[in-house]
Structure 1
Amino acid sequence: MNAVPRTRSLTALLLAVLVLVLTTAFAPGASAQTSVSTIARALRTGPVYVDPAASAQLSRADADALADRIKKANKPLFIAVLPAGYPTAHLFADLRAATGITGLYGIRLGDRFDARADASVMTPTARQNLVNSVQGENAKAQLGDFTDRALANLGGHAPSSWHAADGSGGSGAGLIAVGAVLVAGGAGAYALVRRNRRRREEEQRAALERLRVVVDEDITAFGEELDRLDFQPGEPGADDAMRADYAHALDAYETAKQRMAEAARPEDVRPVTQALEDGRFSLATLAARRAGRPLPERRPPCFFDPRHGPSVTDATWTPPGGAPREVPVCAADAARLADGLDPAIRQVDTEQGRRPYWDAGPAYGPWAGGYFGGGILPGLLVGTLLGSMMATPSYAADYGAGYGDFSGFGGDYQGGDVSGTDFDPGDFGGGFGD
């Protein structure tokens, strides 16, 4: 008598389970979460990825139009549109590592948006200002505005894998047509590339020659300091520490001369001025030992003219039209500032006449970076012509990366380069309020 009810109950239970499984399987957004590796593979073949679970945010036509704009601009901009519930922990860093391409990455996640970039293509400040400027818009407007503003300020070039992907799925006739166009335009394109390369090389040589005059003056001044030094390694009272300081200063002088003779680009000047700064500190240490004074603290050279030697204190200084800042100064310039007088500023020749080195052009970035490394240079040069130039994404491509920590984070890769996991994780930390 009780068998039938039990059978019906079992049947009903099985039907309920089947309905639950089918409902879960075909519910919108209930499919398995797309992996970061899958997103990365898509971005290596094209600049825009829209997750199937987020297709309602951006249509296929709008995504294709956005991708075309990015490709035509030839910039390393990557955009991903993901569902609202996608995990955000380490999302930017993991995506950057999986994609392996230096660039700017923007992610629309539900109705939220954020972006991260390698500092070699866009500074953190520029990236944050860009993200803030597009908040609160719908997906199409937001991603369109973000793309337009990013392309106007983004350094580097598009990855070659995008162009390879464009031709991989075409028909035979399409490939023939593309080949014909490439053959017809190849000679002209090659000539244009060579002409641009020659022009850039000529500009670099001219910048190096202007810079060489200043660096040779620095080397000569240091050599004269060594000539005036009344120290003999065998004199009475000389000990091994003094002899080591003296030998180090001589080695620094020879190193500076050799590195300058071998310099082929403006960025090759940085190790020259690094050697001079190191040699002058050795002389200051030697002087303290001989006089019986405490050894000097390792400080940067005098900001106004590194030939003055290591600084002894910091002083407040305001450049014309700029904001006050603390700069390292030698004793003589500290006294001048305290008396209300102008410091003895290093002047160099420019097309507009003699100017302070920080207003003389971008080639002086490597020169200053060798003297003032370790991250202090941005604060010293903010608001100056040189400081403004060094803060732009394009500066590293022309004058080298890493001068005073303005740029060049994560190696020397430019936008679009395949750098794998060789990037600064700090550039891709956080995101979406994490």
Structure 2
Amino acid sequence: MKAAIATRGPTGLLIALTIAVLTAVGALAAPSAGAAPPRAATATSVSAIAEALRERPVYVDPAASALLSEGEAQALADKIEGADKPLFVVVLPADYPTENLFTELRTATGVTGLYAIRLGDRFDARADSSVLPRAAVGNLVGSVQGEDARTQLDDFTDRALANMGGGAPSGWDEGAGGGVSTTALITAGAVLVVGGAGVYTLSRRNRRRHDQEQREALERLRVVVDEDITAFGEELDRLDFHPAEAGADDAMRADYARALDAYEQAKTHMADAGRPEDVRAVTQALEDGRFSLAQLAARREGRPLPERRPPCFFDPRHGPSVADVTWTPPGGATREVPVCAADRARLADGQDPMVREVETAYGRRPYWDAGPAYGPWAGGYFGGGILPGLLMGTVLGSMMATPTYAADYGAGYGDFGGGYEGGDVSGADFDPGDFGGGDFGGGGDFGGGGGGDFGGGF
């Protein structure tokens, strides 16, 4: 009779489901006679560590158990699994062999992610660049140096989870017994108790907010792109070229036709744009069109044809650049930037270049300090992998170097990221430069976050 009452109606059904989930959790949490421990007591080989990491994000070598207790390791693992991020934490004794440790561990694990190792009293980390850029890894490592093991790993984990991209490997959800993990069941039970409708509503609200932010970013960007299209149309109007004019040849007519086609393509791409990243096709078409006009001008004037160069960094509407010059932005790092003839002359005279400024919430700012939506806009103009160097140290460059940027605005703007997503099983298919090599001691494979093979050039 009690059972019938307990399961009657929606409330009773919820109670029954909750009891079932908690019972399953208890059964999985209780150790069974035939169950193997999560890792062998003497598993110190890289292969054994990698095998353990495929099942749980934290591995503590038995010889290093004094650095991090089992309870502390489990709490850290629960935090990482709860965040659904591909972060791997390893604690090893000080005398563990270190040559090529990160590279070999990444190869043996085969999972794209962020790998952190505490080795005695030393600490360092490496990551696939699609999960976390090198500079970010180095900064995170440097921010926790000198802390005791528990505090250091906890602080590093919190900061890394807030910055890295990707999702957790599927193996963590399977559990040691091949079933559903305890964490997943507890989460499912909590959802049942609280109510799945609330979670669904929150997810929809976040999605709507994200979509609204994207639409607003596109509308702000549309003003700038329309200015670019208009400026190019005015260049065509001023050209005063007629395909049938005296002296015109097939090469000139082809240049002119390509410029007209680029103008129409830019307008079409902008009309079809639904997200900020769609404007890359627009500015790429405009860049192609301006180069065609530069070729046409050279043919008409009897000059050598220009080489294909990126547009002027300060304002792509200035047209193709004529040279690379050294330039240092206020408070920034010195870099080589492509410039038009007019801006080259201004810089040579000690004057400021004519910088493209756009409207922001803080007034007019250079486009590289205006917001993340300008990444696709710049990417269409400055392709071929030159963009990271141009935007080094700028607000936009810093944004584009984060994994979350690619999720919101797309990737491919000059090797800011790409490849496998975090958590993907890529095996040995990864960039060895991301994981370094050599000695673990100081400046090699384990460089203390401030240099070494992985961190050189920060």
Aligned residue for 2:161?
151
- SS of 1:342's equivalent in the other structure is coil
Equivalent AA in structure 1 for residue 45 of structure 2? T
For residues 170 and 275 of structure 1, what CA distance do their matches in structure 2 show?
Answer: 51
Which one is further off, 295-304 or 198-207? 295-304
Equivalent residues of 1:86, 1:109 under 8 A apart: no
The partner residue of 1:331 within 306, 331, 341 is 341
Partner residue in 2 for 1:256: 266
Query: Secondary structure of 2:288's match?
Result: helix
> Where does the alignment leave 5 or more consecutive residues of structure 2 unmatched?
1-39, 446-458
Larger radius of gyration: 1
Quote the Cα distance in structure 2 between the aligned partners of 1:72 and 1:32.
Answer: 26
Query: Equivalent residue for 1:409?
Result: 418
Equivalent-residue separation in structure 1 for 2:171 and 2:191 (angstroms)? 17
**In 2: Cα distance, 1:151 partner to 1:178 partner:** 19
Separation of aligned partners in 2, 1:148 and 1:63: 14
SS in 2 for 1:212: helix
CA distance in 2, matches of 1:141, 1:424: 31
The counterpart of 1:428, out of the listed 435, 441, 444, is 435
Distance 1:324 1:88 in 2: 35
Provide the rounded CA distance (Å) in 2 between the counterparts of 1:175 and 1:208: 38
1:396 aligns with 2:406: yes
Q: CA-to-partner distance for each residue in 1:50-82, whole Å, 9 max, x for gaps? A: 345655654433322321232344432111335
Once the two structures are TM-superposed, the CA of residue 330 in structure 1 deviates from its matched residue by 1.2
Q: Is the contact made by 1:120 and 1:396 (CA closer than 8 Å) also made in structure 2?
A: no
CA distance in 1, matches of 2:432, 2:149: 27
Preserved CA contact (<8 Å) 1:167 1:175: no
Structure-2 change in CA distance of 1:242 and 1:422 (3 Å): farther
Summarize the alignment of residues 85-124 of structure 1 with structure 2, pairs less than 5 Å apart: 85-86=96-97, 88-89=99-100, 91-109=101-119, 113-124=123-134
Does structure 2 conserve the Cα–Cα contact (< 8 Å) formed by 1:120 and 1:393? yes
Encode CA deviations 1:384-406: one digit per residue, 9 max, x unaligned: 3323333344322222223233x
Deviations 1:288-327 (A, max 9, x none): 1222212212221111210110111234444344455443
Aligned to 1:216: 226
3-state SS of 1:49 partner:
strand
The one of 365, 369, 389 aligned to 1:359: 369
Does residue 292 in structure 1 map to residue 302 in structure 2? Answer: yes
Q: What residue is the counterpart of 2:390 in the other structure?
A: 380
Q: Which whole-Å deviations, capped at 9, do the CAs of 1:346-379 have from their partners, x for residues lacking one?
A: 2222233333222222111111122123333333
User: Does the 8 A contact of 2:50 with 2:109 survive in 1?
Assistant: yes
1:124 Cα deviation from its structure 2 partner = 0.5
**Whole-angstrom distance in 2 between the partners of 1:349 and 1:133:** 35
The percent of aligned pairs where both chains have the same amino acid is: 74
CA contact (8 A) 1:409 1:423 kept: no
Q: 1:181 to 1:73 in 2, by over 3 A?
A: closer
Q: 1:422 to 1:398 in 2, by over 3 A?
A: farther
CA RMSD for the aligned pairs? 3.5
C-alpha contact (below 8 Å) 2:43/2:49 kept by paired residues: no
Question: Partner of 1:63 in structure 2?
Answer: 73
**Aligned residue pairs, count:** 400
Distance 1:66 1:179, change over 3 A: closer
Deviates more, 1:195-204 or 1:267-276: 267-276
Counterpart-to-counterpart distance in 1, 2:208 and 2:426:
27
Question: Do the aligned residues in 2 keep the contact of 1:48 with 1:80 (CA within 8 Å)?
Answer: yes
Report the more deviating stretch, 274-283 or 249-258: 249-258
Name the structure 2 match of 1:268: 278
Q: Note closer, same or farther for the CA distance 1:294–1:107 as it changes in structure 2 (3 Å cut).
A: same
Q: 1:25 matched to which residue of 2?
A: none
Q: 1:171 to 1:308 in 2, by over 3 A?
A: closer
Instruction: Write the distance in 1 (CA, Å) between the matches of 2:222 and 2:336.
Output: 29
Instruction: Give the whole-Å Cα distance in 1 for the aligned partners of 2:266 and 2:428.
Output: 34
Query: Is the 8 Å Cα contact of residues 131 and 146 (structure 1) preserved in structure 2?
Result: yes
1:176-215 to structure 2, matched below 5 A, reads 179-184=188-193, 185-215=195-225
Rounded to whole Å, the distance in 2 between the matches of 1:362 and 1:295 is 36
TM-score where L is the length of structure 1: 0.78
Question: Which residue number corresponds to residue 371 of structure 1?
Answer: 381
Q: Is the 8 A contact 1:309 1:330 kept in 2?
A: yes
Output the amino acid matched with 1:34.
S
Distance in 1, Cα, partners of 2:362 & 2:186: 52
Separation in 2 of the partners of 1:259 and 1:39? 50
| TM-score, scaled relative to structure 2 | 0.75
For residues 184-240 of structure 1, what are the alpha-carbon distances to aligned partners after superposition, in whole Å with 9 as ceiling and x for unaligned? Answer: 432211111111111111101110111112112212222232233233444444344
Q: Residues 420 and 175 of structure 1: is their aligned pair in 2 closer, same or farther, counting only changes over 3 Å? A: closer
Matches within 5 A, 1:300-311: 300-311=310-321
- C-alpha contact 1:33 1:86 (8 A) present in aligned 2: no
Q: Distance in 1 between matches of 2:179 and 2:275?
A: 42
